[in-house]
Structure 1
Amino acid sequence: MYSLSQVRKGLKIGRSNPAIFGRELNRLYYSRLDRRSYNPDGIDVLSEDWDNLLILDACRYDLFEQNNTLSGQLERRISRGSHTVEFLQGNFANRDMQDTVYITASPQFYAQREQLDAMFFDVVNVWIEDGWDESVGTVLPETMTRRAIEASEQYPDKRLIVHYLQPHYPFINAPELNPRNPYEDVHSKADIWGELMEKKRTVAPETVWEAYSDNLRIALPAVEELMQTLLGRTVVTSDHGNMIGERSAPIPIREWGHPPGIYTRELVTVPWLVYDNGDRKEIVAGESVAMEDDVSSDVVSERLEHLGYVE
């Protein structure tokens, strides 16, 4: 199944931690030895029927089903990624989307912009400057809703994609599960998923699940406000799920977080909530007005590290 060089690479990784070795073997299995850059069994979100797409980052289906308070018809879908970068690659790469405005709390699109070569009518990077809450190390959901409403008023004839960060780590009401002091030591590489995966920390899965659930519950009122404001068909979904200590496959290690290239049920099954509010939009494409934001690489790296994207 694996080439000799790939097995040697995995063995080298696994000398320090067998779980990381198992993760690498699982990734090679799902990616067909790195021949897949995303999950081909997932849906193409741009081909689905919606006027507004609200993305709750890292929200797996069962989490949403248990905590949902939003109106609408709930279904499930399979995502093209187990990681935001894969989701972006699988849905947006090399595509002309000049009928769509992307409002995002995540720095990943900006970080991957050259590789993606995606063209939106406009991109609103809320995570830059005043959109970023330094006390928590994320963009709060109410900030996203406010910026999305502003964009809907500015671009009433465009599809909107609004990418919230919650329920993604860091946990707003559980700071004990977040990096100890992220702004004092931004290069500490301390994130809850890595610590749990490498057995550097012991936390009950139930404790992590509650913090993860609470992050979603915190976001839902802001999402509801936006749903009731936006006209047309709004879909609430996610880019990928998250593992909370469940057994992965085919190597049955306990997995934490949302590593790329691993397509377990928990990682790729996402909610798809459809809500109609008034008449459908009349969508019109136009020449892109997106301007390149000038953000230092240090700021981008710092934001990603606070969100648990560590190397």
Structure 2
Amino acid sequence: MTFSDWIRKTRTSVRERGPVDGLREGGYELYIGGLRRLNKFYPGTTNVYDREWDVLLVLDACRVDVIDEVADEYPFLNRPDELVSVGSSSIEWLENTFTERRRDEMKRTAYVTGNPFSHRVLDDDSLRKLDEVWRYEWDDEAGTIPGRPITDRAISTKRELDPDRLIVHYMQPHFPSIPDPLGGGMNAETLGEGAGWEDPWDRLRKGELTRERVWRSYRDNLRYILGEVELLLGSVDAERVVVTADHGNAAGELGVYGHPKVPIPSIRRVPWYETSAEDTGEYDPKQDTERSARDEGTVEEKLSALGYL
């Protein structure tokens, strides 16, 4: 955002919200804009390709402390560690993970993803396999993509293709929360129009929700997706599995909320739990033979539904 863009946006905010709230929003945007300029200088980042793993399970926007809170409920989360992510947002993580330098490793990698930013960075020729599940399993009512289609496609990919490396990118615990939506996601009528759902982190910043309320919804969404992780771990064979995140979330640290592209530890620090997987053969994934991929023009609508635009 340029300075002139900021002026225009602030004027609109003042007109729509009144001078106090409008200027407060403008001040926040100016502050975030200043922090963004420092983002590329964040020290100590680690590309996941520099670590050893066979299957990498990426939980979108998962804070280190929230997964620590529930770790004792899941036996596979018994080896805690963390790293500094290469990005403060999904698009930044993708751009800095799948680089030209990693071309050979990417050609041995299958990527099953629910994150719509994949279309801006990757194509079918980038990897051994690219399965953009968000294109055909999006849930309009929830305003996101649930975990089960990702789990099913990941299991099928591992069993049928058995790539050297498999990355599975879940959208949870990123809001909207499936078990506790705090007003719900965007539906088919409002999708992409900026109505029907507002990021709970922004609502927390504005005082519309308490931290306890937002944190409970966030934590429940994490438990929801860890249930999918548990199912996957019993449905594939892999010696080295890692549960991690692309980035974290800010909950008021340094006055920041959510995950704008800013260099602060609550966003850049991500969990790194090592475990293993063994296929019991008890679960058969759903095979969807009638995928209804939407027009390319609706990609931005999906990003908007997740609060990215």
TM-score under structure 2 normalisation?
Answer: 0.80
Q: Structure 1 residue 169 and structure 2 residue 175: aligned?
A: yes
| Aligned position for 1:113 | 122
| Aligned position for 2:242 | 235
**Counterparts of 1:118 and 1:206 in 2: how far apart (Å)?**
44
Q: Structure 1 residue 93 and structure 2 residue 99: aligned?
A: yes
SS in structure 2 opposite 1:128?
helix
Gaps in structure 1 of 5+ consecutive residues: 33-38, 249-253, 279-292
- Report the number of matched residues: 275
Q: How does 1:111-150 map to 2 (within 5 A)?
A: 111-113=120-122, 119-129=126-136, 131-150=137-156
Deviations 1:77-105 (A, max 9, x none): 11011100110111102231111100001
**Counterparts of 1:84 and 1:215 in 2: how far apart (Å)?**
18
Q: Structure 1 residue 75 and structure 2 residue 81: aligned?
A: yes
**Counterparts of 1:104 and 1:207 in 2: how far apart (Å)?**
29
| Aligned position for 2:191 | 186
In structure 2, do the counterparts of structure 1 residues 177 and 242 end up closer, same or farther at CA, with 3 Å as the change threshold?
Answer: farther
Q: Which amino acid aligns with 1:257?
A: G
Q: Percent identity?
A: 30
| Aligned position for 1:30 | 39
Contact 2:86 2:92 (8 Å CA) reproduced? yes
1:11 deviates by: 6.5
| Aligned position for 2:14 | none
| Aligned position for 1:209 | 215
SS in structure 1 opposite 2:66?
helix
In structure 2, do the counterparts of structure 1 residues 197 and 113 end up closer, same or farther at CA, with 3 Å as the change threshold?
Answer: farther
In structure 2, do the counterparts of structure 1 residues 295 and 185 end up closer, same or farther at CA, with 3 Å as the change threshold?
Answer: closer
**Counterparts of 1:167 and 1:105 in 2: how far apart (Å)?**
12
SS in structure 2 opposite 1:107?
coil
In structure 2, do the counterparts of structure 1 residues 150 and 208 end up closer, same or farther at CA, with 3 Å as the change threshold?
Answer: same
**Counterparts of 1:165 and 1:100 in 2: how far apart (Å)?**
19
Structure showing the higher helix proportion among its residues: 2
**Counterparts of 1:221 and 1:304 in 2: how far apart (Å)?**
25
Deviations 1:178-207 (A, max 9, x none): 45x5322224324225743873x6111211
- Pick the aligned partner of 1:49 from 30, 52, 69: 52
Moved more, 89-98 or 161-170: 89-98
SS in structure 2 opposite 1:301?
helix
TM-score under structure 1 normalisation?
Answer: 0.79
1:247 deviates by: 2.8
Q: Structure 1 residue 18 and structure 2 residue 27: aligned?
A: yes
Q: Which amino acid aligns with 2:257?
A: W
Contact 2:175 2:200 (8 Å CA) reproduced? no
1:137 deviates by: 1.9
Contact 2:259 2:267 (8 Å CA) reproduced? yes
Gaps in structure 2 of 5+ consecutive residues: 11-22, 279-291
| Aligned position for 1:282 | none
Q: How does 1:217-256 map to 2 (within 5 A)?
A: 217-231=223-237, 232-244=239-251, 246-248=252-254, 254-256=255-257
Contact 1:51 1:233 (8 Å CA) reproduced? yes
Q: Which has the higher contact order (CA 8 A, sep 6+)?
A: 1
Q: What is the root-mean-square deviation of aligned Cα atoms in Å?
A: 2.8
In structure 2, do the counterparts of structure 1 residues 157 and 185 end up closer, same or farther at CA, with 3 Å as the change threshold?
Answer: closer
Q: Structure 1 residue 307 and structure 2 residue 306: aligned?
A: yes
Deviations 1:23-72 (A, max 9, x none): 1111123346xxxxxx5531110121000000000001111111122414
**Counterparts of 2:5 and 2:307 in 1: how far apart (Å)?**
24
